[in-house]
Each structure stands twice: as structure tokens, then as C-alpha cells.
Structure 1
Amino acid sequence: MRGTECPLPRSENEYNRQILQAIASGQRVTQRSLSSDIGVALGLTNLLIRRLVAKGYVKIAGMGTRHIRYLMTAAGWEALGHATRQSLENTVHLYTQTREQIRTSLSGVSERCETDAAGQKRVVFYGAGDVAEIAYVSLQSTDLTLVGVVDDRRTGRFFEVEICRPEQLSAETLGGVPYGHVVVTSIRHAESIRARLDARAVPRSRVWCLESREAIGDCDGSNDPGRGLDRVR
């Protein structure tokens, strides 16, 4: 998150990778620009850079002038390669873990969702971002049927489903299509979505929120990974 000092659950190795990647780009970087890019305080950025210099990964040119340049060393390039591979491995692990958590949450929705006259458990996703994409993949291993997607900003299609505007959502249908439950597939905007669903007169008993710190990692840390699925009260 640019320009935000947010206590994200990232390791020092990940911060180092981002700094090394920025320096390796060849563009002029400053501690202030790096601070904004990686989303930490300027003082912490200074500390991270000094540690990279001490390890021999980065050297400083123009010391004592107003135009300091940070340069990669051979050891720095090697460290960046290693850190990039580690980051990719962590991303794959996180995706797999998140997908399983969301699949478990959707199974909980299925247990409480009644079957309609056509024999379907019809749900609507509210949110068409990254969480929704993982939820869509996870949904394939459940008996739930996705009949619509709502998003406040995005338009177009979400896989084979047309994205609808919030105004098309009523207490029982989305764009005229009946549904059983709304699954809030956004962590960061869950609270504001709940408020909009209230405004649309959608019964809270039919609204479910996927909440997992592993899935998105909100800055406020309010998502308890142990909750998995939180029925709106």
C-alpha cells in the first residue's frame, strides 16, 4: 500500500526483496520513495537500507552530497534472485492455504443454505476482486451455485457471470434472478458492504462474510483467522 504505514505481516526478507528490486530497476530511488513504495516508516526504511549495505548487497555512491545513489553489488543480485524465488514459493503456499480456508467457509455456507425448488443452493458474491476469484475456484468443490456477482466499481464479467451494480440487488433477487444467500467476498470492504446490503433491505440472516487474515491481510488486523465464516449479526 503506497504511502501507508501499515503493520503488514511481512518478513524483513520480503522488505529487502522489494528494496533490492527497486534499486535493480535502474531508476533513481530515494529513502522517501522506497518508504512510500513498501509502506513503512522512513526511519525503518533507513534501517533496512543500512543493513543491506552492511551485508554487502548495496553500495552507496555520492555519499555526502544531495544526490546519493544506491547501486547493486554482485552479492546483491544473488540475494535478489534468492529472495524472489522464496517470495514465489510463499505466494503459492499462501494461495493454497487461503483457498482451503475459503473452501471450508463455503462448506459452512452450504450446510446452512436451503435447496430451492430446482434443487440448487443459489448464492451471490458481493465483491469481484482477488478474494472472489479464490472463492470461485473453491466453490467448484461445493454444491453451491453462483448465480450472480455484485461489485461497486467493477463492470463486465466475472468468469461466466455478468457483474451487476448494487442497485440491481433486492432482498430476494439480483437482476431478476432469485438467490438464497449473499456471500461477501471482500475482506477489506466487508463493513461498508454490510451497510449497503442493509440499505438494500437484504436480510442479515441471508448474508455471510468470508473472513480470513490469510486471504487478504487487512491493515487493522481485525480479521480473526479462526473465525473462517462469520454470519452477520
Structure 2
Amino acid sequence: MGDETQLQETGNPGIVLSVLTSIERDSSITQRKLANELGIALGLANAYLRRCVRKGLIKMSQVPLNRYAYYLTPQGFAEKSRLTAEYLAVSLDFFRRSRSDCVALFRQCEALGWRRVALYGAGDLAEIAILSAGETAVEVTCVIDSRLAGRRSGGLPIVPDLAAALTYGNVHGLDGIVLTDTQSPQASFDSLSSLAELSGLPRHSVLAPGVLRISPVTAATTGAPIL
């Protein structure tokens, strides 16, 4: 990856905030450890550090064993505070909208006569959906996520696939599935809609909260409704 491409990819404010937070916590952190903590490539972590240095957010000093220590500058502390406030505002907005959308979606499930659903995709949205379902007569039985199978989300078990969800706890089947995958929602919606019908679920058995912005064109192609 060239320097120009790396610089274009270092504008993610969430990663900048994580870099500043990690350095504030551990000034002797290595670039490799930083990359592992952030879940990004080593070269990209280096690019973020160089950009923060150029912007005056951090400074470097060489320490023994040919290593570097990183420190936040006053400007870096100010930027960290600004990004933290921005992150919290965005997170609160996401929670409020997701909560409203999920409650509306479960009301739609009630209108359809659905009583038992599974969620597809563990994470923040799944936990918000579980919380929202508690305001309705719809029961969420489990969360489907192959990456986190065996764990729990919002107090509910995470199962590896749709087949496991259909048979979980000897339940009498599912009425539908609610999409809560925020990583690749459109792709998940499209594949899940086809898989659900092949698994014997009724047509139009996959719903998605509006916050995921599922494409109406794609949804119409799969024959599945969106909220």
C-alpha cells in the first residue's frame, strides 16, 4: 500500500480517537501492539501515528533498545476530548433511532401475528432489539452469528446458523427473523431472505429495522419486506 493510499485511509475519527486513547494509556505501546488493539494492518497503524505527529496531536521520543515512546500534546488532549464528545453524541443518536425503529418493527411483527423471532447478527443493534422486544408480545428466542456461537447477547444464546435457531430449545419453529447485522446488512439481508425460504419459513419472513437502510430495490427482488 502506497503512502498516498494510506493517508487517504487515516481519516477515520473513531480510529484516531482509539490511537490517542491507547497512547494516553500506554506511552510505550509498540506499533504492532497498537495495530492489534485497533484491528488494523501494521502499515496503517504506522500511517495513523505519522499523521497524528504531523497534526501535532502526539510527539515521539526515542527510548533505549531503539524503541519510541509516544505522548499526547496539549492539542492531542483537546482533540481526544472533542472526538470523545462527538462519538458519544453519535452513539446516543444511534441508540435513540435504533430503539425507535426496533419498537416499530416489533409492532409490525405483532400485526403480522408473529410471536417468536430470531435475530441475525450479534452486536449493539441486537442488544437494542432485545430490549425493544420487551415492550411487545414478540419473543426473541436467540441470536444467529457464526462468529460468536456459544456466547450470549443481551442475555440470549448465540447460535451458529439458521438451522440451529429453528431447533433451539425444542421450540415450535420461528415466525420470522429480524436482521441486526451492522457489518454487511444488505448482503446479509439478501442471502438470509433466500435461505429462510429454503428452510421452510414463510415468504417475507425477514424484516430489518430502518436504521440499516436496506435497499428497497434489492428487497423487492428477494420478495422480502422492509420497515
TM-score range, shorter chain: 0.5 to 0.7
Give 1:20-59 correspondences, 5 Å limit: 20-26=20-26, 28-59=28-59
Alignment gaps of 5+ in structure 1: 1-8, 115-120, 216-223
> How far apart are residue 174 of structure 1 and its match?
6.3
Q: Which amino acid aligns with 1:77?
A: F
Give the structure 2 partner of residue 3 of structure 1.
Answer: none
List structure 1 segments (4+ residues) > 6 angstroms apart after TM superposition. 161-165
Give the structure 1 partner of residue 14 of structure 2.
Answer: 14
Partner Cα distance (1:67, 1:76) in 2:
21
> How far apart are residue 163 of structure 1 and its match?
7.0
Give the structure 1 partner of residue 166 of structure 2.
Answer: 169
State the Cα deviation string for residues 113-135 of structure 1 (Å, max 9, x = none).
Answer: 23xxxxxx312214473332211
Is 1:182 the counterpart of 2:177 in the alignment?
A: yes
Question: What's the secondary structure of 2:138's corresponding residue?
Answer: strand
Provide the identity percentage: 19
The aligned length equals 203
> How far apart are residue 146 of structure 1 and its match?
1.0
Partner Cα distance (2:46, 2:157) in 1:
47
Q: Which amino acid aligns with 1:46?
A: N
Give the structure 1 partner of residue 75 of structure 2.
Answer: 75
Partner Cα distance (2:170, 2:133) in 1:
22
Partner Cα distance (1:158, 1:21) in 2:
27
Q: Which amino acid aligns with 1:71?
A: Y
Give the structure 1 partner of residue 206 of structure 2.
Answer: 208
Question: What's the secondary structure of 2:208's corresponding residue?
Answer: strand
Partner Cα distance (1:10, 1:157) in 2:
31
Partner Cα distance (2:139, 2:70) in 1:
51
Give the structure 2 partner of residue 97 of structure 1.
Answer: 97
Of the three residues 133, 146, 149, the one matched with 1:139 is 133
Superposition RMSD on alpha carbons, in Å?
Answer: 4.2
Kindly indicate whether the alpha-carbon contact (under 8 Å) linking 1:57 and 1:73 is maintained by their aligned counterparts in 2: yes
Partner Cα distance (1:128, 1:43) in 2:
30
| Structure of greater relative contact order (alpha carbons < 8 Å, 6+ residues apart) | 1
Alignment gaps of 5+ in structure 2: 1-8
Partner Cα distance (1:27, 1:195) in 2:
50
Question: What's the secondary structure of 1:50's corresponding residue?
Answer: helix
Question: What's the secondary structure of 1:62's corresponding residue?
Answer: strand
Question: What's the secondary structure of 1:205's corresponding residue?
Answer: coil
Kindly indicate whether the alpha-carbon contact (under 8 Å) linking 1:122 and 1:180 is maintained by their aligned counterparts in 2: yes
> How far apart are residue 91 of structure 1 and its match?
1.1
Partner Cα distance (1:56, 1:203) in 2:
57
Q: Which amino acid aligns with 2:118?
A: F
Kindly indicate whether the alpha-carbon contact (under 8 Å) linking 1:149 and 1:164 is maintained by their aligned counterparts in 2: yes
> How far apart are residue 17 of structure 1 and its match?
1.0
Which 10-residue stretch deviates more, 30-39 or 52-61?
30-39
Partner Cα distance (2:157, 2:14) in 1:
37
> How far apart are residue 95 of structure 1 and its match?
1.6
TM-score, with structure 1 as normaliser: 0.63
Partner Cα distance (1:10, 1:98) in 2:
28
